[in-house]
Structure 1
Amino acid sequence: MKRVNQTLLKLDGDPDDPIHVKAFDKAGCLGHRMIRTVDEIDNIPDEEYPLLMESHLSGWEFAVEAWIHDGKIKFLNISEYVTLGYSVFVPATRELESWRDAITKQIELLIKTFDIQFGQIHPEYFVTSDGTMYFGEIAYRPPGFKAFELIERAYGFSAYQASMLVFDPKSTQEEVDAFFPREVVDAKGYAGCFGVYPKRRVVSKLEMPKECVEHPYFDFHELVPPAEETVPERDAFGTHWGLVFFFGDDPIKMRDLLKSQEDLDFYV
């Protein structure tokens, strides 16, 4: 953390820029901590190590899912985060989709840099207030937060089947081209999900809010009644208790709906 802030030319007395640390053996938000002070590092349990450290980028974060065959992008989805660790939807709003050409060029650079011929990649990027796009990280694997399921809901094709198809070097060009729809224009609607975290320390039951289930975009949920009354302390960003899924025809309504779920109580 000191090295990061020295690199940023911070002076004595200036507030430190935060860093992110992630446990190697955990996925998603579990094991992901934002560290704002050096003292917080002492609170990380020994079993969390070794850790991956990342500098913090302030900006609009989004993810990309790209399927690659014979070194060429066959389908590129942009997943728009509403609140990191809570909510995401696909396809993205027109505002974020306006970055598609620039994003495509960045993905082509990754393909060239890592010599990717076949497979599916999941990079993340940030757009800052001055309109600069920064690379965050890349994973050569399926994404978390049910992104594949959201893509299938929006477009109608199995993202898992798509991955098997492009990973197979024996798949023909014709097979691959025929499998994928056109990005955005062939989407049947916008699919999003929200990760539920209990707001209370003690809960007794699952109670789906009317504002959620009576909304026309509500699709289904994977929440289950609590197994015990005491809510465990959240470790780092924590792990959500389940996802609520939505589907509709307006990305702005979808974005606002997902954001509004943060104010609701699902476990009481």
Structure 2
Amino acid sequence: MNNYNPEKGYVALLGWSLNAIDAVDRFDRRYIVVAPPWAEDYCKEHGIPYMPWNFDRLNERSHELAHQLKDEGVDVAIPLFEETVEWAGAVNSVLLGNPRLLGQSMLFRDKSLMKRRAQLGGIRVGVFEEAQDRSDVIRFLKRVNQTLLKLDGDPNDPIHFKAFDKSGTAGHRVIRTPEDVDNIPDEEFPALLESHLDGWEFAVEAWIKDRKIQFLNISEYVTLGYSVFVPATPELESHRARITEEIEKLIETFDIDFGFIHPEYFLTSDNKLYFGEVAYRPPGFNALELIERAYGFNGYQGLVVMFDPKTKQEEIDAFFPEPVKGARGHAGCFGVYPRRRVVSQLRVPEETANHPYFEFHELADPMEQKVAKRTAFGTHWGLAYFFGDDPHKLRDLLKAQEELDFYV
């Protein structure tokens, strides 16, 4: 660890992420990693400050972790994954003397509670309901399509099935027919059901301190579960003022004093913004790494600046660049999934490898030849990364990857 500034806070990272650890190790704060026991040998070998903890289930032992960290002198805990958001809330309620933070973290973890809270705050959401079993899903599918005045024989409008407490696209299914309902495993209940919203889907990454947005990035989805790039096209960025207002509503509704949020929205054809969901942790698809490639600042270090109760505004002002204008280009990634049922080797398509926007990939040779059927979003085999000046060219390039075979 480099020399840290004793006047700045001591932070605990909850969860295991080498990118996050590397970023914080190069920063000016003292830190400790709280991770499962399997990480201990690696931490010892590389001199990483470490405290073992199993994040199986939030229980009465959360206070034990909070007091261990308090005794260690830690000022604040930062969740790195969905599964550690509630733990961070429980720990910070003790470290910061604010019991409200535990309840707030539970809102971020339960998609149904989250939607209800958003609705109470006057935020526009689609139609949603909880499902305890398959019969609830069938009922919701029928009712939504009756409301849309569908006739017998018309194809159903889809609905979305989402696990209450999984991150992003994990546990997310699109349901169109009763047969789709039969394929849902019992263990995925209870779940959240949502009506389908046609429109432009995008995400926001917002770094927040003192109830104010300190930096806001708009990530444009090309295809959900496949591809994303930052900053967004000028067409989507033209809505930045409205999007900023929506984030301010989230800050007010969810009572957010500090931290980092990653909400998702739909912009419909009639120009209305609908809230999808919000997470209180770094996004998937290596979005923070994409933001660093585009802007030059490290998003994980940005999290530390936001969470640290000792941070001063002068440091924040010096840390973040100007949105959009401060970007050096546009960075995107594509989640690769085999298009064939049987594969034997990785072979990056020539048109991808030779494109000037292609940078590198994190794909490995297949471990098995038979490809499992894709049952939900979020099960890609690895990411391919791109960077360039023209957001439209990048968007079209990412879309084109869907028709190419990376595994043959």
**TM-score bucket of the superposed structures, by smaller chain:** over 0.9
Question: Sequence identity of aligned pairs in percent?
Answer: 68
Residue in structure 2 matched with residue 197 of structure 1 by the alignment? 337
Shift of 1:218: 0.6
Task: Name stretches of at least 5 consecutive residues in structure 1 with no aligned partner.
Answer: none
> Once the two structures are superposed, what CA deviation does each residue of 1:185-205 show, in whole Å capped at 9, x if it has no partner?
010110000010101111110
Shift of 1:237: 2.5
The 8 Å contact of residues 70 and 118 in structure 1, kept in 2 or not, is answered as yes
Residue in structure 1 matched with residue 183 of structure 2 by the alignment? 43
Residue in structure 2 matched with residue 9 of structure 1 by the alignment? 147
Residue in structure 1 matched with residue 104 of structure 2 by the alignment? none
Residue in structure 2 matched with residue 124 of structure 1 by the alignment? 264
Residue in structure 2 matched with residue 175 of structure 1 by the alignment? 315
Residue in structure 1 matched with residue 193 of structure 2 by the alignment? 53
> Once the two structures are superposed, what CA deviation does each residue of 1:110-164 show, in whole Å capped at 9, x if it has no partner?
1111111101011111111122221111111111111111001100111011011
Matches within 5 A, 1:58-69: 58-69=198-209
* Larger Rg, first or second structure (1 or 2): 2
- Distance of 1:129 and 1:24 partners within structure 2: 28
1:230 aligns with 2:367: no
> Once the two structures are superposed, what CA deviation does each residue of 1:63-119 show, in whole Å capped at 9, x if it has no partner?
000000000000000000011111100000000000000000010111111111101
With normalisation by structure 1, the TM-score equals 0.95
- Distance of 2:166 and 2:276 partners within structure 1: 18
- Distance of 2:329 and 2:294 partners within structure 1: 5
- Distance of 1:126 and 1:249 partners within structure 2: 25
1:78 aligns with 2:230: no
> Once the two structures are superposed, what CA deviation does each residue of 1:34-89 show, in whole Å capped at 9, x if it has no partner?
01123422221112223232221111100000000000000000000011111100
The 8 Å contact of residues 190 and 248 in structure 1, kept in 2 or not, is answered as yes
Residue in structure 1 matched with residue 299 of structure 2 by the alignment? 159
The 8 Å contact of residues 30 and 235 in structure 1, kept in 2 or not, is answered as no
Counterpart amino acid of 1:43? N
Residue in structure 1 matched with residue 99 of structure 2 by the alignment? none
Is the partner of 2:311 in helix, strand or coil?
A: coil
- Distance of 2:306 and 2:377 partners within structure 1: 33
1:101 aligns with 2:238: no
* More helix, by proportion: 2
Shift of 1:238: 4.9
Query: Number of paired residues?
Result: 268
The 8 Å contact of residues 169 and 225 in structure 2, kept in 1 or not, is answered as yes
1:210 aligns with 2:350: yes
Shift of 1:4: 6.5
With normalisation by structure 2, the TM-score equals 0.63
Give the root-mean-square deviation of aligned CA atoms.
Answer: 1.6
Residue in structure 1 matched with residue 275 of structure 2 by the alignment? 135
The 8 Å contact of residues 141 and 158 in structure 2, kept in 1 or not, is answered as no
Residue in structure 2 matched with residue 19 of structure 1 by the alignment? 159
User: Per the alignment, do residues 88 and 26 of structure 1 end up closer, same or farther by CA in structure 2, a change over 3 Å counting?
Assistant: same
- Distance of 1:179 and 1:159 partners within structure 2: 10
Shift of 1:219: 0.8
Which of 174, 195, 198 pairs up with 1:34? 174
Counterpart amino acid of 2:371? V
Residue in structure 2 matched with residue 92 of structure 1 by the alignment? 232
Is the partner of 2:147 in helix, strand or coil?
A: coil
